[in-house]
Amino acid sequence: MKLIKTKKPEDKKTASDKAKNVLTSDSKFAIVEGYKIARTNLIFSLAALESNCVAVTSWSKGEGKSTATVNMAISFSKTGKRILLIDTDLRRPNLHNLLKLKNNTGVSDVIGQFGDFQTAVHREVISCLDVLTSGAIPPNPSELLGSPYFSQLVEEAKKEYDYVIMDTPPLGVVTDTLLLKDLVGGYVLVVRERVTTHGDVERALQNVKLADTRVLGFLKVGCEMRSRGYRRKYKYKNYGYNNYYYYKY
């Protein structure tokens, strides 16, 4: 008997399907409000750290990290502040798919000095939001993100924009994300209901602690809509997390 390999249901999702989860004027009120809560908490956290730069990550792929990062950037842009969204996932970039942008030049090209920021950045993708896509997939992502050229790019962006938000690779897949620790105020960890496990969260926190940096909070996605007033709380070691969309660590 010949075995036929089939794709998992989640693999059938196209870029167009995922783009439908990006915030628009037609998005559900509860989702929009959830990101507003996340935005407010994050603004206060960054202010306390005197930073205007944050990285968004997850433990593994398929948890909705890139979509959550885009939605966070869109929510920030609604405040009227100038926002720069950067795709630093140079191995599996996705922001250009979600926002339907060209990815001819981007981060890798600017760092490799094959292009400059002013021509690579997508201006006003929506009002107050600029986007720098990943560019060509390089053979050495870690070396590029750890280079002084990337540090210079981010530092200049932090002066030009009110907030810089970076979509980074999953912590449990590669170590690229933690190379950015000196450039950001901290990390927001995306967790997905019924997908991310307590063990995943534990390992992510251990990695961040070993890198001598911090998790600013958790952004929970894929939440089921429940009746008003109902809240289910899970306890895990010395912190709890619940069904709100964002909660501080």
pLDDT for 18: 58
Are 77 and 127 in contact, with CB atoms under 8 Å apart? Answer: yes
Q: Give the position of tokens 């709890």.
A: 240
Query: In terms of pLDDT, which residue wins out, 74 or 62?
Result: 74
Q: Please write the tens of the pLDDT for every residue from 198-241.
A: 999 999 999 999 999 999 999 999 876 554 443 444 333 333 33
From the CA atom positions of the chain, what is the Rg in Å?
Answer: 18
Write down the pLDDT at residue 17: 57
CA neighbor of 134 nearest in space, from 189, 186, 85? 85
Q: What is the dihedral of CA 240, 245, 248, 249, to 10 degrees?
A: 50
Can you tell me the distance from the alpha carbon of 37 to that of 246, in angstroms, rounded to the nearest whole number?
Answer: 7
**pTM, 2 dp:** 0.83
* pLDDT tens for each residue of 125-169: 999 999 999 999 999 999 999 999 999 999 999 999 999 999 999
Looking at per-residue pLDDT, the higher value among 91 and 247 belongs to 91
Whole-number pLDDT of residue 247: 42
pLDDT at 243 > cutoff 60: no
